[in-house]
Amino acid sequence: MKTKHLDSKALEAFENQLKGELVTPDSDRYDMFRRVYNGMIDKKPALIVRCQNIADVLYSLEFGKIHNIPIAIRAGGHNAAGLGVADQSIVIDLSLMNGIQVDLKFNTVRVEAGCLLGDIDHALDPFGKAFPTGIFSTTGISGLTLGGGFGHLSRAYGLTIDSLLEADIVLADGRLITVDEHNFPDLFWAIQGGGGNFGIVTSYLFELHPAGKIQGGPMLWHMEEAKHIMPFYRDFILKAPKEIYCYFAFLTIPPVAIFPENLHLKKMCGLVWCNLGSTIKSNAALERFRSFKTPALDYVEIMPYVQLQSLFDALYPSGLQWYWKAAFLKDLSQEAISQNIIHANRLPTPHSTVHFYPVNGACHDKKNSDSAWGNRDANWSQVIVGVDPDPTNNPKITHWARSYWEAIHPYSLGGGYINFMMDEGQDQIKASYRDNYTRLQKIKQKYDPKNLFRINQNIKP
């Protein structure tokens, strides 16, 4: 086994310490394990450690520190900017640490850091329970939670971090600690949106909520209707009851059998619903839209929550090229709507899309200063993604996403959701944390003064 710049004896001793697998650039599986979800990211780490347990995490951290190798932490590998991997780094890959323990007595679930959302949905489905996570089952719980997290249940139950009760973290100095609102409360505050800046989280304890059956799925209109549907949606969702959820999207209908052939490759706008609770209330909400403008496609039905959670996975397999831009919006003025429609009409490729996730309802039960996630006054988290299988289209999808973002930026709160951002530099990170940035910096200084954990949307100590 040979790895550039590293003493082979030290490497062998390190490998012997591990219960998990050490993957080096010489190994056959190196290319497979250095890959992340975003195919645009092509990084070549020095080492990848596929950790089996916390001891492996501790040994890896120690090895990285002794040999002065940058530490990258990878869980689900879904990060927009591919921040689970970096050139010449040691990747602490947590994906094999995916145990889940449901505790019905205390109405909680403990999940290890490598779990994907689909693992958690599967474990909780038999009990009709859930907590808010994201809308693709292939996303990692770790990166999502540390960035804040939101999805279909967020108007009812808040952000993912609002259900977080406790986390186990390995700190830069090698200590393993448990944080909650009483123990290390500063750190507990910081990991609720502050990303992977403060340590390596090895497990999370979440509070559970009722989920079970929901009324959900897509309801779409032709693009020409966007000028009517978008303001109607804005007015509706700002006042809708918490258990009613729908995000707004611009998209192109994929040419696959589940969609009517006459709609294939048509640019459209629409809503994806996930209504909890009473069907009467849910039907009333759906009927308001149906009677306002008859949808061109209406696939809303009663289904298990778990089914909705993986409904769109197959449309976005791992390895596509993704260029992301993000914004938080408080309002959607007529001018902002017009700008959005102009740019949505130019969706550059069939996979490219724009979503407006509502982050009102229960997300507004807390204040900006209650957690590191400093955008509680936003009503939507907008994501603009240029996506395509073909890398030669990267300039096209990148240019479109950037120019779209520039056009809507004046109507936004300034920053964006850190989990929807590429590597955009300090100004955009500061704009995203707003008034919480200085407090985050102080906590970073206390727990990671040398900025060991810097391969992330970095808060400089």
Is residue 316 close enough to count as binding ligand FAD by CB under 6 A? yes
DSSP states of 331-386 as a string? ---HHHHHHHHHHHTT--STT-EEEEEE--GGGGGS-GGGSS---TT-SEEEEEEE
CB 109 within 8 A of CB 102: yes
Closest to ligand FAD by CB, 339 vs 405, is 405
Distance, in Å, from the CA atom of 3 to the CA atom of 9, rounded to the nearest integer, reads 11
Tokens encoding 286: 């759906």
Pick from 352, 419, 432, 436 the residue near ligand FAD by CB under 6 A.
419
Q: 28-47 mask for ligand FAD (x: CB under 6 A)?
A: --------xx----------
The closest of 264, 388, 367 to 317, measured between CA atoms, is 388
Is residue 192 close enough to count as binding ligand FAD by CB under 6 A? no
Question: 405 phi and psi, to 5 degrees?
Answer: -60, -40
Question: Which amino acid, 358?
Answer: P
Instruction: Give min distance, CB of 288 to ligand FAD, in A.
Output: 25
E strands in 5-84: 21-23, 47-50, 71-74
Pick from 11, 83, 300, 308 the residue near ligand FAD by CB under 6 A.
83
Total number of residues that touch ligand FAD (CB under 6 A): 35
Distance, in Å, from the CA atom of 382 to the CA atom of 329, rounded to the nearest integer, reads 7
Instruction: Give min distance, CB of 73 to ligand FAD, in A.
Output: 4
**Considering only 27-35, 71-79, 329-337, 369-377, which stretch makes contact with ligand FAD by CB under 6 A?**
71-79
Instruction: Give min distance, CB of 138 to ligand FAD, in A.
Output: 7
Indicate the helix (H) or strand (E) that contains 446: helix 437-447
Q: Which residue of the chain is nearest ligand FAD when measured via CB?
A: 143
Question: Which amino acid, 410?
Answer: P
Is residue 158 close enough to count as binding ligand FAD by CB under 6 A? no
Question: Which amino acid, 274?
Answer: C
- Alpha-carbon distances of 1 from 33, 36, 47, rounded to whole Å: 17, 24, 12
Instruction: Give min distance, CB of 142 to ligand FAD, in A.
Output: 3
Cα angle for residues 276, 144, 52 (degrees, 5° grid) = 115
Instruction: Give min distance, CB of 250 to ligand FAD, in A.
Output: 16
Is residue 151 close enough to count as binding ligand FAD by CB under 6 A? yes
Is residue 384 close enough to count as binding ligand FAD by CB under 6 A? no
CB 197 within 8 A of CB 172: no
Pick from 45, 76, 118, 415 the residue near ligand FAD by CB under 6 A.
76
Residues 117-146 that bind ligand FAD (CB under 6 A): 134-136, 139-140, 142-144, 146
Closest to ligand FAD by CB, 89 vs 339, is 89
Is residue 74 close enough to count as binding ligand FAD by CB under 6 A? yes
Q: Which residues bind ligand FAD (CB under 6 A)?
A: 36-37, 73-80, 83-84, 94, 113, 134-136, 139-140, 142-144, 146-147, 149-151, 195-196, 200-201, 316, 419, 455-456
